[in-house]
Chains A and B, each alone.
Chain A
């Protein structure tokens, strides 16, 4: 199994303003990640003490907050998930049909985050 996976990320509905005003991003994340969603690399990579899981959307949200978000994290995340009013699409499908945060990411998946609160 590859140690990293590549993902296409897109922001819409004004959410891109929090991410350097760039709508499209391509990121690479580890395929196996800490279960506590810690996105900082461990000091000792050989250490087996950290519990791990396959990279899922929940981890991706933490990753985006810690590595891509430029400002105002409270507008993106709330209570360990995306803020209410943000629609998440996994490969153009509502994430509610894919298991929401528990969806295990695959190489070349496209994840879209759209804010529904940009006016209306």
Chain B
């Protein structure tokens, strides 16, 4: 696009659209901004995305001060989005506190004035290191720690590791109920469950690697890494008594995630990709907000450049460029250059979407809404098995499938013609929260639901169907009379 095509100023297209005085320095979706007006533009976009979610109840009066019910946790990956998010949040919401601490009681309105109260009592930064899951990757925790300590000394860094998702010690630390380790059999679409005895519990890194190697595609690996990271952050937010978890998803990243997630069967939780409220049960809901969701990657890049922010970057793991997510990213980034408004159209259109039916619980793996009846639908439209799976011992308790959302079930079971896994592993260790949910279900909910359903069916005079896995011998015995010799 050339100088005479951009800008909405009819007099001088290179003048800033906001102050109409300075020469423009950046083009944002056909609008030109100068370097002086650019920070205000980004600040207003962040406040627009975040302010309405800070107070527990959305305020009718705009004058009411912002006060969160808990602490703040910021997810930090070292990438461009989260680097910019950390900088903007600390400048917009947390800087007044630093100033108050350093300048004594000089603030306007006195120290007790509501305006000078911090929005969040405490703020922390959480980084999830994924290197243990992928041999050969470098651990960057020290780099991240150095950056946070140097640049944001008021913020506490909480370093996590992806293997914490399978770590009972971590699970105990974040204060959740004790659970036993469970695994799922990925050779079957039913994902039959088994429990691991406490005497034989492999270390979390081994479990993480087994989990990754049992996944069928590159897309599934990328998706699983995202889910584990998100849940680790949410459980940490709960542990730190945070009311808000902020992630640095830019408009470009959001559009990529939306398209990628829908293409992987995540349409039912399309609203949660932009903003979600996670309810851990015992304490209040935690709001996961993406304050950069109106800011493009180009704006983030310009902000980082003009403010001399160090972007550590994310290291790519082997195969990360091959999944649906990476292909969608290439497509959307190209689209953003050729048609700058289309990327925001994706996000705006998806914001208008809502599921037709209400959720029937939550998925035990990703903890997002579960679409009721999805497995029945899936069984009608797809081929459920292509090979005969080995017969399992009769000790198997139940299947994981009914408790998974469509997207998670597809992630675990949808195989591509090019198999990614060279491991013979068929047993998928489950994250701690999944095991905990299953334990809850098996102890109470499922039994009562099953009984209720069976009673309803009996009342209606229908047959009671029970789905269970049978061996080849048993099957032959049952059908033997009908077979021709």
Contacts and interface: CB of A to CB of B under 8 A. Distances in A.
A120 B78 CA distance: 8
Interface stretch (B306-314, B346-354, B465-473): B306-314
Interface string B149-191: 0000000000000000000000000000000000000000000
B80 A116 contact: yes
B205 interface: no
Interface string B237-255: 0000000000010101100
Interface in A90-120: 92-94, 96-100, 102, 112, 114, 116-120
A77 interface: no
Interface in A23-46: none
B122 interface: no
Given A84-B336, A94-B27, A120 B253 contact: yes
B80 A120 contact: yes
Contacts of B334: 84
Contacts of A92: 25, 35
Given A12-B305, A96-B1, A102-B2, A85 B297 contact: yes
Contact of B314 (A84, A94, A116, A118): A118
Contacts of B337: 84-85
A89 interface: yes
A1 to B, nearest CB: 24
Interface in B274-318: 297-298, 300-302, 304-305, 311-314
Interface in A70-89: 84-85, 87, 89
Q: How large is the interface on B (under 10, 10 to 19, 20 to 34, 35 or more residues)?
A: 35 or more
A118 B298 CA distance: 12
B312 A119 contact: yes
Contact of A85 (B1, B2, B35, B333): B333
B305 A112 contact: yes
Interface in B59-112: 77-82
Nearest to A17: B313
A10 to B, nearest CB: 10
A71 B147 CA distance: 29
A120 B298 contact: no
B224 interface: no
B311 A118 contact: yes
A89 B306 CA distance: 11
Contacts, number: 90
Contacts of B253: 120
Given A84-B336, A120-B300, A13 B3 contact: no
**B3, B300, B338 interface centre (most CB from chain A within 10 Å):** B3
Contacts of B338: 84
B314 A119 contact: yes
A120 B3 contact: no
A84 B252 CA distance: 12
B6 interface: yes
B32 A97 contact: yes
B301 A97 contact: no
A99 B298 contact: no
Nearest to B292: A120
B313 A14 contact: yes
Contacts of B6: 96-97
Contacts of A85: 297, 333, 337
Contacts of B25: 92-94, 97
Nearest to A115: B301
Contacts of A116: 80, 252, 297-298, 300-301, 333
Contact of A114 (B14, B305, B329): B305
Contacts of B24: 93-94, 97
A117 B252 CA distance: 11
Most interface-central of A92, A118, A120 (chain B CB within 10 A): A120
Contacts of A13: 80, 301, 304, 311, 313
Nearest to A95: B27
Contacts of B302: 87, 94
B2 A120 contact: no
Contact of A120 (B23, B81, B336): B81
Interface in B1-46: 1-3, 6, 14, 23-27, 32, 35
Q: Which 7 residue pairs across A and B have the least CB separation, nearest first?
A: A119-B79, A119-B314, A120-B80, A118-B313, A120-B79, A120-B81, A116-B301
Interface of B: 1-3, 6, 14, 23-27, 32, 35, 77-82, 248, 250, 252-253, 297-298, 300-302, 304-305, 311-314, 329-330, 333-334, 336-338
13 contacts: A14-B313, A84-B334, A84-B336, A84-B337, A85-B337, A87-B302, A93-B25, A97-B24, A97-B32, A116-B333, A117-B329, A119-B313, A120-B253
Given A13-B304, A87-B301, 16 more contacts: A13-B80, A13-B313, A84-B337, A87-B305, A93-B24, A93-B26, A94-B25, A94-B302, A112-B305, A116-B297, A119-B78, A119-B80, A119-B311, A120-B79, A120-B80, A120-B252
